[in-house]
Amino acid sequence: MTAPALRLFGRATIEGTTVFGPVSFEAPAGRWTCLLGPSGVGKSTILRLLAGLGDGIAFEGKVTADDGAPLEGRIALMAQSDLLMPWLDATANVTFGARLRGEAPQADRARQVLGRVGLADHAGKRPHALSGGQRQRVALARTLMEDRAIVLLDESFSALDARSRALMQDLAAELLAGRTVLHVTHDTAEAARLGQTILLMTHAGIDVIAPPEIPTPRPFDAPETLAFQSRLLRRLMAAG
Given a cut of 70, whether residue 1 has pLDDT beyond it is no
User: Residues 196-200: what's their mean pLDDT?
Assistant: 96
Residues 201 and 191 in one domain: yes
Q: Which domain holds residue 31?
A: 6-74+149-238
pLDDT at 165: 87
* Residue 1, domain member (yes or no): no
pLDDT in tens, 149-182: 999 999 888 888 888 889 889 989 998 999 999 9
* Residue 81, domain member (yes or no): no
Instruction: Please report which confidence band the pLDDT of residue 237 belongs to, taking 50, 70 and 90 as the band edges.
Output: confident
pLDDT at 240: 64
Which of residues 54 and 6 earns the better pLDDT score? 6
| DSSP characters over 24-57 | EEEE-TTSEEEEE--TTSSHHHHHHHHTT--TT-
Residues 232 and 157 in one domain: yes
Distance CA 228, CA 204 (A): 22
Integer CA distances (angstroms), 196 to 15, 175, 205, 210, 218, in order: 35, 15, 20, 8, 10
pLDDT in tens, 57-83: 999 999 999 999 999 889 999 988 889
Residues 46 and 120 in one domain: no
Average pLDDT of the chain to the nearest whole number: 92
Residues 69 and 153 in one domain: yes
Given a cut of 80, whether residue 239 has pLDDT beyond it is no
pLDDT at 161: 86
DSSP E strands: which ranges in 95-162?
150-154
pLDDT in tens, 20-45: 989 999 999 999 999 999 888 999 89
Domain end, chosen from 102, 119, 147, is at: 147
Instruction: Give the total number of structural domains in the chain.
Output: 2
